[in-house]
Amino acid sequence: MPLIRFDLIEGRTDEQLKTLLDTAHDAMVEAFQVPQRDRYQIVTQHPANQMIIQDTGLGFERSKDVVVISVTSRPRTEEQKQNFYKLLVEKLGETCGIEPNDIMISIVSNTDADWSFGMGEAQFLTGKL
Amino acid sequence: MPLIRFDLIEGRTDEQLKTLLDTAHDAMVEAFQVPQRDRYQIVTQHPANQMIIQDTGLGFERSKDVVVISVTSRPRTEEQKQNFYKLLVEKLGETCGIEPNDIMISIVSNTDADWSFGMGEAQFLTGKL
Amino acid sequence: MPLIRFDLIEGRTDEQLKTLLDTAHDAMVEAFQVPQRDRYQIVTQHPANQMIIQDTGLGFERSKDVVVISVTSRPRTEEQKQNFYKLLVEKLGETCGIEPNDIMISIVSNTDADWSFGMGEAQFLTGKL
């Protein structure tokens, strides 16, 4: 169920986008233990001057590869979240060559009643999920 | 007050978009009992390869008509939310011919202090709303 | 850390966008007392028919300059939020000539564990922030 938004600077090829999304999903499945088809990903690409991603003084350089990942999910433990951050950075480095300093993530939580995956039903309430 | 984001695959006409937004607003007004002008809707359209919306194993086929609706709202009851999902699917089917399996919705809640509709004021705190 | 999304109607120049983002950041730094480089801003521009921003009956006219600002942040006090709204409207008026009735803001809160600014770490948990 997590819904994941990817904000990117425009310029990636379709193949690069596919690898990025596939890889992010792998990290999600492993960290949050969700089903394989629990995949909800939306990409928005921006001109470089329309994503300003600095570092709160942490000393990270950001490149044009910068990825901002915004997750909406039912509650997850701190351990799950930290595992997700770690796996995502590892895997995106391996498959896409994205540097660890180019990956920013934030999560917002909601509840069972806040999801309808189709049919006008709240599947976490009806027991279908 | 709910702020509603619509993520769509590009290709709809302006007329189709208008009908979709009008209809979604009708469902919102009826389900959440908000005023007629409590309407805040933002559309972002995406190439088909940049919205991956699967089904958590529920068996839904998604088409190019798929609509992902993300709502930010002050708290609503489970009943209101379920009513919104149901009405939205019914009405979008009637007016736009969108199939029930193509409509996904998620909600995130916030509080009175989290809204300013203009003028730099928090209208739910000042008593103007 | 706040992540700020700006939804705008397309048509601003790069210079106008830059002034808008710089100014919004100044308001954020002053109201939330965040570090200067705690700056995370994403702009999405839309055709005019794809942002419908009304007024809940408050009587605001909206123009093509309308700005919808969506903030994700760790918890802030009501006072901080109200100060942010006020400063933002004052400053955007001064630097961009945006009218107070064209600025809508909403905030969603999350927690320490919900942020990774890079390196696959949750910096608010590890003590680096």
Q: Write the pLDDT tens digit of every residue in A34-58.
A: 999 999 999 999 999 999 999 999 9
Whether A38 and chain B come into contact, CB under 8 Å, resolves to: yes
pLDDT by residue, tens only, chain C of 129 residues: 899 999 999 999 999 999 999 999 999 999 999 999 999 999 999 999 999 999 999 999 999 999 999 999 999 999 999 999 999 999 999 999 999 999 999 999 999 999 999 999 999 999 999
Tokens, residue B36: 């007629």
CATH for A67: 3.30.429.10
From chain A, pick out residues whose CB is under 8 angstroms from the CB of C42.
7, 46, 50-52, 68
Decide if A2 is catalytic.
Answer: yes
User: How many domains are contained in chain C?
Assistant: 1
- Position A26 confidence tier, pLDDT thresholds 50, 70, 90: very high
3-state class (DSSP) for residue B109? strand
Return left, alpha or beta for A90; rule: phi > 0 is left, psi -120 to 50 is alpha, else beta: alpha
* CB spacing of C100 vs B110 below 8 angstroms: no
Residues B109-123 have pLDDT tens digits of: 999 999 999 999 999
From chain A, pick out residues whose CB is under 8 angstroms from the CB of C128.
58
Q: How far is B101 from chain A (nearest CA, A)?
A: 5
Tokens, residue C127: 């003590």
Q: What was the ipTM of the complex prediction?
A: 0.98
* CB spacing of A49 vs C110 below 8 angstroms: no
3-state class (DSSP) for residue A35? coil
- CB–CB of A8/A45 below 8 Å? yes
Separation CA A36–CA B58 (nearest Å): 12
Residue B53: give the domain boundaries: 3-126
